[in-house]
Amino acid sequence: MANISYQHLNPPVRILLGPGPSNVHPRVQQAMAAPMVGHLDPYFVKIMDDTVELLRYLFRTQNKLTFPISGTGSAGMEASFCNFLEPGDTVVIGVNGVFGERMVDNAARCGAEVIPVTAEWGNIVAPEAIESALKSRKKVKMLALVHAETSTGVMQPLAEASKLAKQYGALFMVDTVTSLAGQEVAVDDWGIDICYSGTQKCISCPPGLAPFTVNQKALDIMQARKAKGPSWYLDLGLLSAYWGTGRTYHHTAPVSMIYALHEALALIYEEGLEARIKRHQKNAAALTAGLEAMGMVMHAQAAYRLNSLNSVRIPAGADDVRVRQKLLNEYNVEIGGGLGPLKGKIWRIGLMGESSSESNVLFLLYALEKILVAERCDMELGAGVNAAITVFKKS
């Protein structure tokens, strides 16, 4: 037998304030360790039913086909394109960050003609630019937008875009990976036809599932396809037979992950969606006040900033990587760096789900102040923490 050297599992306890994953509640961790049952066991079938009902509550929808896809949020993205787009279809996609770019790549792989509507990374995609793109073709099959652009911290407004999609006869598809359970998301009220998310952000469940919902209008269009979609694993027709009343075998569902999602959704239900969203708003406002009191500048367009993911420009004199490494090594706090053209220019600070708390905001500001003063950045020690405390006292 080969002499294999391996590390015993003993991960550090971190405060996860990056772009995801977020920290999980002890009840979610306990759920992961619950006894294994078969994926068609009567007990697990009841857990599936409960999970679907809780997801409908979270998405604010009555859509029959609402369930978690076995895969990360990117699987939700791919399912949203490969089931509804056919070669030659036209799709308009908003691109103001990494995940809009991924949408473009995904749709192109389905053989669709992609019309990207671009905006500067940090700004929203303007409704008038969306309408111009929808007008540019005789028939547009789908309009796709990222609600919460994780790479920039921008929250894309959806109400006017939804009206435009209906006006021009296009399906409206939305990525809510970084907004669901932390920002308002109302699938039915906002007229969203196809919507997906991820479990590891504001839901505060480990990564590995993609909450997904689709309305009957979109399913009717899918069923009228000329040929089967290119993905067997993400075929919504096959998946609906497993998650529907028939429970027809499709794949072995990740039982322990669905236990965890069930418990995370139960925690959200117990807190209440309105209270949860207000908690994210309050903590983001305190963080922003603290960072600005330290002389730092928020990056995302004012009035369209996420509460769940806060982007801030790196101050002059600070070394991006060194500061983040000090936060991790000396304080056990993770924040994210910039991506693409924003690499080395911004930090991305997540306040998502379990990670969105008053104590985390104050501790991060305290640690960041100490590190930046040591980096010889021009700021007053204590200004950020005091500004955040003022916000908390008012709320």
Q: Is residue 8 part of a domain?
A: no
Domain that holds residue 191: 26-269
Whether 192 and 328 map to the same domain: the answer is: no
Whether 265 and 309 map to the same domain: the answer is: no
336: domain CATH number is 3.90.1150.10
Whether 141 and 264 map to the same domain: the answer is: yes
Which domain-ending residue is among 269, 301, 319? Answer: 269
Neighbours of 118 (CB within 10 A): 15
Q: Which of 230, 203, 196 shows the shortest CA–CA distance to 76?
A: 196
Whether 292 and 330 map to the same domain: the answer is: yes
Q: Is residue 360 part of a domain?
A: yes
Number of separate domains in the chain? 2
Neighbours of 8 (CB within 10 A): 4
pLDDT at 1: 64
- Residue 372 near residue 318, CB atoms below 8 Å: yes
Whether 159 and 247 map to the same domain: the answer is: yes
Residue 231's Cβ-count burial label (10 Å; 0-12, 13-18, 19+) is: middle
Beta pairing class for 171-175 and 142-146: parallel
pLDDT at 325: 98
Q: Is residue 311 part of a domain?
A: yes
Instruction: State the residue for tokens 């008053």.
Output: 358
Distance CA(53)–CA(243), nearest Å, equals 12
Whether 337 and 243 map to the same domain: the answer is: no
- Give 230's Cβ-side CA count (13 Å radius): 16
Distance CA(387)–CA(361), nearest Å, equals 11
Whether 44 and 99 map to the same domain: the answer is: yes
Omega of the bond leading into 254 within 30 degrees of 0 (cis): no
pLDDT at 272: 98
Whether 159 and 99 map to the same domain: the answer is: yes
Whether 364 and 224 map to the same domain: the answer is: no
Q: Is residue 341 part of a domain?
A: yes
Task: Report the amino acid identity of residue 4.
Answer: I
55: domain CATH number is 3.40.640.10
Q: pTM higher than 0.85, yes or no?
A: yes
Q: Is residue 9 part of a domain?
A: no
Task: Report the amino acid identity of residue 328.
Answer: L
Which H or E run contains 349?
strand 346-350
List phi, psi (to 5°) of 278: -65, -35
Whether 176 and 283 map to the same domain: the answer is: no
List phi, psi (to 5°) of 90: -110, 135
pLDDT at 197: 98
Q: What is the pLDDT along the chain (395 residues), one digit of tens a residue?
A: 678 888 899 999 999 999 999 999 999 999 999 999 999 899 999 999 999 999 999 999 999 999 999 999 999 999 999 999 999 999 999 999 999 999 999 999 999 999 999 999 999 999 999 999 999 999 999 999 999 999 999 999 999 999 999 999 999 999 999 999 999 999 999 999 999 999 999 999 999 999 999 999 999 999 999 999 999 999 999 999 999 877 888 999 999 999 999 999 999 999 999 999 999 999 999 999 999 999 999 999 999 999 999 999 999 989 999 999 999 999 999 999 999 999 999 999 999 999 999 999 999 999 999 999 988 888 888 999 999 999 999 98
Whether 234 and 306 map to the same domain: the answer is: no
What is the DSSP-derived secondary structure letter of residue 244? S
List Cα–Cα distances, 198 to 73, 247, 336, 365, 378, in angstroms: 4, 23, 18, 28, 39
